[in-house]
Structure 1
Amino acid sequence: MFHFSNIVRSKGDPKIVEGGPSLKQPPDQLARALGWLGIGLGITEFLAPRRVTEALGMEGRETLVRAFGLREILAGVMSLSVDRNAGLWARVGGDGLDAAALLSGLTSDNPKKGNIALALLMVGGIAMLDYRAAQDTKPRRPPPNARRKLYPNRSGFPKGVQAAKGRAKEMIQHKTAGVTS
């Protein structure tokens, strides 16, 4: 079986025959998917705001759509970063802004109210996913009454510092003995 990972390996490196299961948990996978969704949507809003406003019957608001696109891209990038929780909360806030902007287009003279209603349903569904992902990826803190683990007597050496020093001396003596012979 061919794996792209084998392309960058040196001749003597072992080949990857089979990949294992992903270490990413479902909340991480959802955050990643929402991040890429936000980037894709943001690029569309930023590069083609007139198409978006025409589809919604909200012509004249291209600058707002372009700004929303930039916000989507930035929140998407943050959702893919180490600080994904902040990115997901930014997405939740953005969903509220999107809904408010869409509601302003639900006027009696807008012939494309049906498109706005559909967009509101989509924003609502995505908002629920964003909120769920933000809740599931929030940093976990120990409860206030939890005992802290303290390790004042641990050195990081499994057999103690003296054993490590002794082993280091043996290695140095062995190495110098091999050099002088």
Structure 2
Amino acid sequence: MAFLSNLTRPKGDPKILSTGPTAQTGAERLAKGLGWFSIGLGLTELFAARRLSRGLGLYGHAPLIRAVGLREIFSGMMTLSTEKEMGVKSRVAGDGLDIAVLMAALRPDNYRRGNAAAALAMVVGITLVDVMVAKALASERARPSGRGRDYGDRSGFPKGIEAARNVSRDKKAGATQPTSPSLAASPAPAGSLG
């Protein structure tokens, strides 16, 4: 990703040399993967709808497969956005619709029902993953207020906190009293208490 980011940066901007550790949790990373999977599957359903409908024995249902593909793309986009939890929940709801369509393809007169059964098994497996990720995202959002992410290993100082302390100590050691030469050289007025 750093390579792609560097291609789009203006000429005067500094280049990204490496990226640091991510703050994303495992569930967020898995949701991101599901989002990209959803977009890829949706594009396949959108552009190969006729071929998919024939392969599943759902002749004449290419428009339905295209609609499912559009829903899949939108779910993937939502999953990649800041609304990951809603995106994954929409994937679970869409999986329910996919299961209903594939169950209809298991009718006895469909000589491609073996393909439909294999597709149904895959959708059920993906549904289980979607449900697991949705639950994990919901539990992360519902963390107790005292148990947030731990940023204890981050200092906000590029060279580390110890380097910043050393610079501060060096500056304090270099700044000796008095700060204003005119105040240090002037004698106290006569009759003053000082």
TM-score of the superposed pair, with normalisation by structure 2: 0.66
Counterpart residue type for residue 132 of structure 1: M
Q: Which runs of no fewer than 5 residues in structure 2 stay unpaired?
A: 147-194
Which residue among 140, 146, 149 is the counterpart of 2:142? 140
Residue correspondence of structure 1 range 100-119 to structure 2 within 5 A: 100-119=100-119
Partner of 2:19: 19
RMSD over aligned CA atoms reads 2.2
Partner of 2:31: 31
Q: Does 1:84 align with 2:76?
A: no
Counterpart residue type for residue 45 of structure 2: E
1:137 is paired with a residue of what secondary structure? helix
- Superposition misfits of 4+ residues, deviation over 4 angstroms: 2-7, 9-13
Residue correspondence of structure 1 range 160-171 to structure 2 within 5 A: none
Deviates more, 1:134-143 or 1:123-132: 134-143
Partner of 2:61: 61
Aligned partners of 2:78 and 2:92: how far apart in 1? 13
2:142 is paired with a residue of what secondary structure? coil
Q: Deviations over 1:107-135 (max 9, x none)?
A: 11111111111101100110011111111
Which protein has the larger Cα radius of gyration, Structure 1 or Structure 2?
2
Partner of 2:74: 74
| Number of aligned residue pairs | 142
Counterpart residue type for residue 140 of structure 1: A
Distance change (3 Å), C-alpha of 1:81 and 1:3: closer
Aligned partners of 2:13 and 2:105: how far apart in 1? 63
Give the C-alpha shift of residue 37 in structure 1.
0.7
Higher relative contact order (CA 8 A, sep 6+): 1
Aligned partners of 1:71 and 1:16: how far apart in 2? 35
Distance change (3 Å), C-alpha of 1:19 and 1:113: same
Give the C-alpha shift of residue 23 in structure 1.
2.2
% same residue: 43
Aligned partners of 2:65 and 2:16: how far apart in 1? 46
Distance change (3 Å), C-alpha of 1:52 and 1:18: same
Q: Deviations over 1:11-47 (max 9, x none)?
A: 684x544432222211111101111111111111112
Distance change (3 Å), C-alpha of 1:104 and 1:21: same
